[in-house]
Amino acid sequence: MNIAGNLLIGQSVRRGTNGVSYAIDAASGERLEPGFGGATLEDVDAACALAWAAFDIFRETTLEARADFLETIAANILAAGDALIERCVAESGLPRARIEGERARTVGQLRMFAGVVRAGDFLEARIDPAQPERKPAPRVDLRLRHIGLGPIAVFGASNFPLAFSVAGGDTASALAAGCPVIVKAHAAHPGTSELVGMAVQKAVKDCEMPEGTFSLLFGSGREIGQGLVRDPRIKAVGFTGSRHAGTELMAVAAARPEPVPVYAEMSSINPVLLFPHALEQRGEAIAQAFVQSLTLGAGQFCTNPGLILAVEDPALDRFVAAASEALRRAPAATMLTPGIHRAFETAVSKFAEHPQVQTVARAQPATGANKGQGALFVTSAAAFREQTELQEEIFGAASLIVRCPDLHTMRELIESLEGQLTAALQIDEADYAAARSFLPSLERRVGRVLVNGFGTGVEVAHAMVHGGPYPSTADGRSTSVGSLAIRRFLRPVSYQDMPEALLPESLKTGNPWRINRLVDGKIALAQRA
C-alpha cells in the first residue's frame, strides 16, 4: 500500500479536488511527496451518506464480529510495516523508538476495545422483569441497553500521529460502541493518516462490515472539519487539539438544529505540587524526573508538566538549580510542525519578556529546522494570581515554577486554576496530612491525581481518566483514554413489554450473548462457556 494522497470514502479511493497540500519533513522542513487532494463538501456529504447507511447494520453486528474487526484493524496496521514507521517519523519529527512505541499503544488500544466489546459490559444491559401481581398497579417488563449515538466525526491530533489519530483512541472507542467513523486527518501527518486509513478500510472489507463504517478526509479544518460537524448525520465529535479550534467546534455543534456532544481535549498545564518534605528529601531527584517529563517528545504532550507550585525554601532553590542544570543539558528537539514550533517560540518569548517572570534556564540552542528549545521560568504567587495569561498553556517543553509563601497560598492558587487533565503530587509520608487537605480542590479541578510521578505516560487502562473539567476538555464527564472512553459514544434505550422475538440479543431472557446484566438492580454475572 503506497501513499497516494487520496481520500478514502467508504471502500472507494478518490482524488480530492479541493486544492493540494503536502506533508513537511519536520526535521528538515522540506516538503514530502505526494500531494494530498483536499475534500470538497460533496465528499463530506458522500462520506456521511455512507456512514448513515452503515450505522443500523454496523451497530447490530455481533460482539464477536465487531471485536474481530477491531483486531483486524490492529493487524492491518502492523502489516503496514516499516513504511508506516518511516513516514510517521518523517512527518512528526519524533524519534523512531517513540513512534514504534506509539504503534504498539495504538494496536494495544484497538485490542483492548476488542476485549471490551467481547465482554459486553459496555452495553450495560438491564432487566426489570414484569410484576403482574404488583399492587396498586402491575409492573411492566423493562429492559435497557446502550446503543451507539450514530456516525462520529474524529479529528486527528498532531502530537500522537498514531494513538490519537486515524485509528487512535477516539476511532477505536467509537467503532467499539457501534458507531461509524469519519476521520478528518490532521495536516501534520497526512501520509501516516492515509496508510492507517488504508489499514482500516481494508479491515472493513476483510470483515465484511458495511462500507460506510469508515471514511478518511483531507482538507481544511474550517471548511471540511466544520462542514462535517454541521452535517445532521454526524451525532458526536471527537477532537484533540488547541483550545481555539476545540471551542470553535463546540460552538458549531451547539448551533446545529440538533446540537451534538463534542468531546474535545484542549488545553492543560498539569500542575505539579512539590510538598515540603519530599522537596527537602529528594528535590534533586524530582528535578531530574521533572525535566525528563518536561522534555519528553519535545514537551508536546497534553499532560506535559507546565506548572510547578512549591513553598519558598532553600530546598526549592536547590530544586530550581537542579532542574535548570538538567534542562540546560537537554538538546533542543524537533517539533511536530513549523506552525507548532513558531507558536512555541512566540509563547516562550512572551513569558521571557514578562516583567514578573524570570527565565531560569533554556535547553541547548536549536541546531536545525523546527527545533524547540526548552524553557524554565519562575514567578511569584502574587504575579501568577494576578496575571491570568501565565495560566495559558505553552505547547512544548516550557514550564513555570511558582514560588508560594506557604501551603495555604498554594491551595488558593489551585482554586484559581482552570480545569486540568492531571495534577501531580510529590509527597513523602510526612506530607500526607498536608496533601490530604489539597485533595478536594484537586478532585474538583482535574481528571487524574497522581502521586510521585508526572502526568506524561497515560496508561491505557480501565481505571484511567484522561479528561477533566473545562477547558481541559469540553466535557468533564468523559475520558478519551481507557476502556471508559467507549461511553462517550453510547446512549441508553429502554424496551417496555417487548416480545422476546423483537428484543435485541443482549436483552433476551435466555442471555444468548452471555453477558453480565443488571437484573432488578442486582448484577447477574454471565455464565460463560
Taking the C-alpha atoms of residue 525 and residue 523, their distance in angstroms, rounded to an integer, is: 6
Q: For its own copies, give the closer residue by CB, 265 or 475.
A: 475
CB 276 within 8 A of CB 313: yes
Choice from 16, 276, 306, 469 touching its own copies (CB under 8 A):
469
| 453 in contact with its own copies (CB under 8 A) | yes
Q: For its own copies, give the closer residue by CB, 79 or 254.
A: 254
Closest CA to 199 of 81, 317, 99: 81
Closest CA to 17 of 33, 34, 35, 38: 38
Strands 262-265 and 236-240 turn out to be parallel
Interface residues for its own copies in 145-174 (CB under 8 A)? 147, 149-150
Q: Taking contact as CB under 8 A, which single stretch among the options 38-46, 78-86, 238-246, 437-445 is the one that binds its own copies?
A: 437-445
| 385 in contact with its own copies (CB under 8 A) | no
Strands 12-14 and 7-9 turn out to be antiparallel
| 142 in contact with its own copies (CB under 8 A) | yes
* Shortest CB 221 distance to its own copies, Å: 21
Q: Taking contact as CB under 8 A, which single stretch among the options 38-46, 205-213, 302-310, 519-527 is the one that binds its own copies?
A: 519-527
* Shortest CB 292 distance to its own copies, Å: 13
| 443 in contact with its own copies (CB under 8 A) | yes
Taking the C-alpha atoms of residue 134 and residue 136, their distance in angstroms, rounded to an integer, is: 6
Taking the C-alpha atoms of residue 170 and residue 479, their distance in angstroms, rounded to an integer, is: 10
Choice from 132, 523, 527, 529 touching its own copies (CB under 8 A):
523
Q: For its own copies, give the closer residue by CB, 321 or 524.
A: 524
| 446 in contact with its own copies (CB under 8 A) | yes
CB 384 within 8 A of CB 390: yes
Choice from 42, 64, 386, 459 touching its own copies (CB under 8 A):
459
Choice from 502, 510, 527, 528 touching its own copies (CB under 8 A):
502
Choice from 49, 284, 495, 508 touching its own copies (CB under 8 A):
495
Strands 142-148 and 522-524 turn out to be unpaired
CB 11 within 8 A of CB 211: yes
- 265 in active site: yes
Taking the C-alpha atoms of residue 391 and residue 250, their distance in angstroms, rounded to an integer, is: 22
CB 31 within 8 A of CB 22: yes
Q: For its own copies, give the closer residue by CB, 150 or 190.
A: 150
Residues in the chain: 529
| 419 in contact with its own copies (CB under 8 A) | yes
* Shortest CB 20 distance to its own copies, Å: 37
Q: Taking contact as CB under 8 A, which single stretch among the options 139-147, 177-185, 285-293, 321-329 is the one that binds its own copies?
A: 139-147
- SS3 for 415-470 is HHCCCEEEEEEECCHHHHHHHHHHHHHHHHHEEEEEECCCCCCCCCCCCCCCCCCC
- 48 in active site: no
| 324 in contact with its own copies (CB under 8 A) | no
| 439 in contact with its own copies (CB under 8 A) | yes
DSSP reduced 3-state for 182: strand
Taking the C-alpha atoms of residue 393 and residue 267, their distance in angstroms, rounded to an integer, is: 6
> How deeply is 273 buried, as exposed, middle or buried, from its count of CB atoms within 10 A (0-12, 13-18, 19+)?
buried
* Shortest CB 177 distance to its own copies, Å: 11
Taking the C-alpha atoms of residue 87 and residue 505, their distance in angstroms, rounded to an integer, is: 44
| 178 in contact with its own copies (CB under 8 A) | no
Interface residues for its own copies in 81-120 (CB under 8 A)? 115-116, 119
| 444 in contact with its own copies (CB under 8 A) | yes
Choice from 484, 486, 511, 515 touching its own copies (CB under 8 A):
484
Q: Which residues fall within 8 angstroms of residue 356, CB to CB, at 6 or more apart?
A: 379, 380, 383, 387
| 271 in contact with its own copies (CB under 8 A) | no
| 447 in contact with its own copies (CB under 8 A) | yes
Q: For its own copies, give the closer residue by CB, 206 or 505.
A: 505
Interface residues for its own copies in 31-60 (CB under 8 A)? 55-56, 60
Interface residues for its own copies in 197-226 (CB under 8 A)? none
Q: For its own copies, give the closer residue by CB, 405 or 457.
A: 457
* Shortest CB 371 distance to its own copies, Å: 27
Write out the three cell numbers for 369. 529546522
First to last CA, the chain: 40
| 389 in contact with its own copies (CB under 8 A) | no
| 30 in contact with its own copies (CB under 8 A) | no
Q: Which one is catalytic: 179, 302, 393, 418?
A: 302
Distances (CA, A) of 346 to 147, 324, 360, 382, 521: 45, 21, 18, 24, 56
Query: b/e string for 93-114 if b means 16 or more Cβ within 10 A?
Result: bbeeeebeebbebbbebbbbbb
CA dihedral over 364, 366, 367, 371, signed as positive or negative: positive
CA 370 to chain centre: 24
Total residues in contact with its own copies, by rule CB under 8 A: 78
Choice from 277, 491, 508, 514 touching its own copies (CB under 8 A):
491
| 258 in contact with its own copies (CB under 8 A) | yes
Q: Which one is catalytic: 265, 280, 393, 418?
A: 265
Write out the three cell numbers for 129. 422483569
| 464 in contact with its own copies (CB under 8 A) | yes
| 313 in contact with its own copies (CB under 8 A) | no
- Residues noted as catalytic: 265, 302
